[in-house]
Amino acid sequence: MASDKVQSVSDADFDSVIASDIPCLIDFWAPWCGPCKAIGPVVEALADEYKGRATIYKMNVDDNPSTPGKFGIRAIPTLILFKSGEKVDQITGAVGKAQLIDLIEKAL
């Protein structure tokens, strides 16, 4: 569920989104996933806090099966951080805000 702060990304535009020099965090989620819903407000808050320094996107794994398959995602939520098209790190599960901040800071 994208919002005005967090944009949606699809299989079709994924490569162009992660190619940016600005760190890009992708939240792989699904609408039926309880932990995904729980982490949603944290992801929204980070989009605000890192505006201009990092971009945050959400990818619905039900609608876009190709990209999660390419990265071997077997559990959601999984958040993967990219910079200049390269995977920097990833984290799986409904983790706390501090862990997500640590993840983003690795690429700044």
Amino acid at the residue 65? P
Q: Which residue of the set 18, 36, 42, 107 is catalytic?
A: 36
Of the candidates 75, 64, 73, 81, which has an alpha carbon nearest to the alpha carbon of residue 24?
81
Query: Is 24 part of the annotated catalytic residue set?
Result: no
Three-state SS at 26: strand
Nearest to 43 by CA among 62, 31, 53, 28: 28
| Strand arrangement of the beta sheet that strand 24-29 belongs to | 7-8, 55-60, 24-29, 78-83, 86-92
Annotated catalytic residue within 6, 33, 47, 107? 33
User: Is 36 a residue of the active site?
Assistant: yes
Active-site positions?
Answer: 33, 36
